[in-house]
């Protein structure tokens, strides 16, 4: 484990060769870093204009330093270790200790200065996806700037011109660097906190990895056949629940930096798409949905009123995206003929994907490998992995409480039940 002191020592050495001028070097903000996967409480702004902070699933917001009216952030691109879910860790690249990097939160009109230090073994750059900014701050290697060499620190500076939902990611060796987990969320809040006000504002990025069972490092040349589908580099049951008090207005902002689209589905409620990559959707132009497709490179902000108490599933509706590694590359024959058993007798390790519900926990798995369908619920195995979590709506929740309230206790006689009467006679038609 690298200690903080070591990090600082390494940083000092790296900075000796940095491209920024001496005055800027002396002014570099401290590096704030974490190795935690726990969701931090929304960061109330200690200075600057007020806003309502967001909650990052299994993540956090990067503190800034206010200097002469400019919000200064320090991002460090570096190798990190991320727990994907209990039982599996991955060797990724990210920012400030984790993948994804910390969320950046500013207010429309803020002057922002971002110091980006490269501690990766290869050049990088950083692109502020969706922002209006000077062309030279857009971060495309070769087009807008030279790449940030290992050890160098670059400075980006612009005014946050439009409230909305944004992302940051490299525009250098992209397939490798995003396949390794380099990305982060950015929220620009409206200047008036009463505008587009919600009670809870959750954010996360969708990302995907190809990590062979028994290994730790993503295969970066994979283009399509990923086997770990994640929200903020976490797979269910490692993903935080999104909790809300009954009646609250809830916003969930999602960015997609995988290589495919994800139809995101909420149970028990209708929502509207209140924001896209380009800003807020005018209220008259919104329509109700229970699923919305989020294409590659897109951001969506959905909103709904937490109208019904309970534990409501929230997930990608591509069913192989709610499965972990074991679901990929095995035969896909649902076995109702006993064939799988016959094959298994002669082919060691053969499994069919059909009919496997409920037996996941008992199967032997390679080291550092998540079961395909998992998650212990109040009624048994939830049989979900990957891009799945739970919206937990409770009447008795404090307004600032983001902790997991445990499983829902439904009112008596409100749960589907086993029918135990007589079977009716079979009637044939025609
Ligand atoms: Cu999906």
SS (H, E, C) 57-113: CCCCECCCEEECCEEEEEEEEEEEEEEEECCEEEEEEEECCECCCCEEEEECCCEEE
pLDDT tens digit sequence for 273-285:
999 999 999 999 9
173 within 8 A of 123, measured Cβ to Cβ: yes
| Mean pLDDT, residues 13-28 | 52
Q: How far is CA 374 from CA 83, 154, 278, 329, 428, in A?
A: 16, 43, 37, 18, 40
Q: Residue 8: is its pLDDT beyond 70?
A: no
More confident residue, 9 or 219: 219
Q: Which two tokens stand for residue 316?
A: 């990608």
DSSP 270-313: -EEEEEETTEEPPGGG--EESEEEE-TT-EEEEEEE--S-EEEE
Q: Is 136 helix (H, G, I), strand (E, B) or coil?
A: helix
Query: How many whole angstroms from 259 Cα to the centroid of ligand 1?
Result: 10
Quickly state the pLDDT bin for 326 (edges 50, 70, 90): low
Per-residue pLDDT at 360 exceeds 50: no
Residue 320 has what DSSP assignment?
G
Q: How far is the CA of 262 from the centre of ligand 1 (A)?
A: 4
User: How many Å lie between the centroid of ligand 1 and the Cα of residue 62?
Assistant: 28
Cα torsion angle, 226, 232, 233, 237, sign: negative
List the structure tokens of 203: 């954010």
pLDDT of residue 223: 87
* pLDDT given at position 331: 47
Going 344 to 347 to 349 to 352, the CA torsion angle's sign is negative
Average pLDDT over the chain reads: 88
- 345 confidence band (pLDDT: 50, 70, 90): low
**Cα distance between residue 414 and residue 428, in whole Å:** 34
pLDDT band of 314, cuts 50, 70, 90: very high
pLDDT of residue 336: 54
Tokens of 18: 């940095």
Distance 252 CA to ligand 1 centre (A): 16
Q: What is the pTM of this model?
A: 0.87
- CA 290 to centroid of ligand 1, rounded, Å: 15
Region 413-423: mean pLDDT is 93
How close is the Cα of 34 to the center of ligand 1, in Å? 28
How many A from CA of 317 to the centre of ligand 1?
6
Cα–ligand 1 centroid distance for 257 (angstroms)? 11
- For residue range 91-144, list pLDDT tens digits in order: 999 999 999 999 999 999 999 999 999 999 999 999 999 999 999 999 999 999
Give the pLDDT confidence of 177-193 residue by residue, as tens digits: 999 999 999 999 999 99
């Amino acid at each position: 484990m690298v200690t903080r002191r070591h990090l600082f020592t390494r940083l000092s050495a790296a900075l000796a060769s940095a491209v920024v001028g001496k005055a800027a070097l002396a002014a570099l903000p401290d590096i704030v870093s974490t190795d935690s996967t726990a969701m931090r409480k929304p960061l109330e702004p200690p200075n600057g204009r007020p806003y309502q902070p967001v909650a990052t699933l299994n993540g956090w917001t990067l503190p800034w330093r206010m200097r002469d009216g400019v919000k200064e952030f320090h991002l460090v691109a570096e190798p990190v270790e991320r727990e994907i879910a209990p039982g599996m860790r991955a060797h990724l690249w990210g920012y400030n200790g984790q993948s994804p990097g910390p969320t950046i939160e500013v207010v429309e009109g803020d002057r922002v200065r971002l110091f980006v230090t490269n501690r990766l073994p290869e050049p990088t750059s950083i692109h502020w996806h969706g922002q209006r900014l000077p062309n030279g701050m857009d971060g495309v290697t070769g087009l807008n700037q030279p790449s940030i060499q290992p050890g160098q620190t670059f400075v980006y500076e612009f005014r946050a011109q439009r409230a909305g939902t944004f992302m940051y990611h490299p525009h250098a060796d992209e397939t490798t660097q995003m396949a390794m987990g380099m990305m982060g969320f950015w929220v620009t809040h409206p200047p008036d906190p009463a505008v587009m006000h919600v009670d809870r504002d959750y954010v996360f990025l969708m990302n995907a990895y190809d990590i062979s069972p028994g290994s730790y490092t993503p295969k970066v040349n994979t283009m399509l056949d990923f086997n770990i589908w994640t929200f903020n580099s976490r797979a269910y049951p490692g993903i935080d629940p999104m909790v809300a008090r009954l009646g609250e207005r809830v916003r969930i902002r999602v960015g997609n930096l995988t290589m495919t689209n994800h139809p995101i589905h909420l149970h028990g409620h209708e929502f509207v798409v209140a924001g896209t990559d380009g800003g807020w959707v005018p209220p008259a132009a919104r329509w109700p949905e229970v699923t919305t497709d989020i294409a590659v490179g897109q951001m969506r902000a959905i909103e709904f009123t937490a109208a019904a108490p309970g534990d409501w599933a929230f997930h990608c509706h591509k069913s192989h995206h709610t499965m972990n590694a074991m679901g990929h590359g095995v035969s896909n024959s649902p076995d109702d003929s006993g064939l799988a058993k016959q094959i298994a007798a002669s082919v060691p390790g053969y499994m069919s994907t059909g009919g496997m519900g409920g037996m996941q926990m008992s199967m032997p798995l390679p080291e550092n490998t998540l079961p395909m369908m998992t998650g212990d619920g109040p009624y048994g195995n939830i049989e979900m992995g990957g891009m799945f979590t739970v919206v937990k709506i409770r009447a008795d929740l404090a307004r600032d409480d983001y902790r997991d309230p445990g499983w829902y206790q439904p009112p008596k006689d409100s749960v589907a039940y086993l029918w135990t009467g007589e079977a009716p006679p079979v009637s044939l038609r025609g």
